[in-house]
Amino acid sequence: QVQLQQWGAGLLKPSETLSLTCAVYGGSFSNYYWIWIRQPPGKGLEWIGEINHRGITNYNPSLKSRVTISVDTSKNQFSLKLTSLTAADTAVYYCARGVGRHPPGRGWGQGTLVTVSS
């Protein structure tokens, strides 16, 4: 049973960079894509992007200019960086597992609330 555990700073200022990491325990790391999703307070889900073990990525076009997703296969971890933050980036950020070019399946992180405020 795969488990995803995520961490990162929860309070950031406008213009700063968000940085989150997700560690994967159990199951294969190389057979899947690893996904970031966010959910603003009281709103729906937004797909941010995904990466596989070779570093192949797909990004949401609306966020692509500010997003970088990277992978560390030696640690079975993947990370999200989102630059030039504004209040609109305030959300719960989730990491999840997928099979590539599909929505996420089973295996989600616990979520991290990131608040952008001066």
Partner 1 sequence: QSVLTQPPSVSAAPGQRVTISCSGSSSNIGNDYVFWYQQLPGTAPKLLIYDDNKRPSGIPDRFSGSKSGTSATLGITGLQTGDEADYYCGAWDSSLSAGVFGGGTKLTVL
Q: Catalog residues that contact partner 1 under the rule CB under 8 A.
A: 35, 37, 43-47, 49-50, 58-61, 94, 98, 101-106, 108-111
Indicate the residue among 14 and 103 with the shorter CB distance to partner 1: 103
Indicate the residue among 14 and 55 with the shorter CB distance to partner 1: 55
Task: Quote the least distance from Cβ 84 to partner 1, whole Å.
Answer: 20
Task: Quote the least distance from Cβ 23 to partner 1, whole Å.
Answer: 15
C-alpha 76/C-alpha 21 separation (Å) is 11
Phi first, then psi: give them for residue 89, nearest 5 degrees.
-90, 0
Task: Quote the least distance from Cβ 40 to partner 1, whole Å.
Answer: 12
The label of the residue with tokens 């192949």 reads: 56
The label of the residue with tokens 């894509």 reads: 33
Radius of gyration of the chain (CA): 13
Indicate the residue among 49 and 78 with the shorter CB distance to partner 1: 49
Cα torsion through 111, 67, 71, 56, rounded to 10: 120
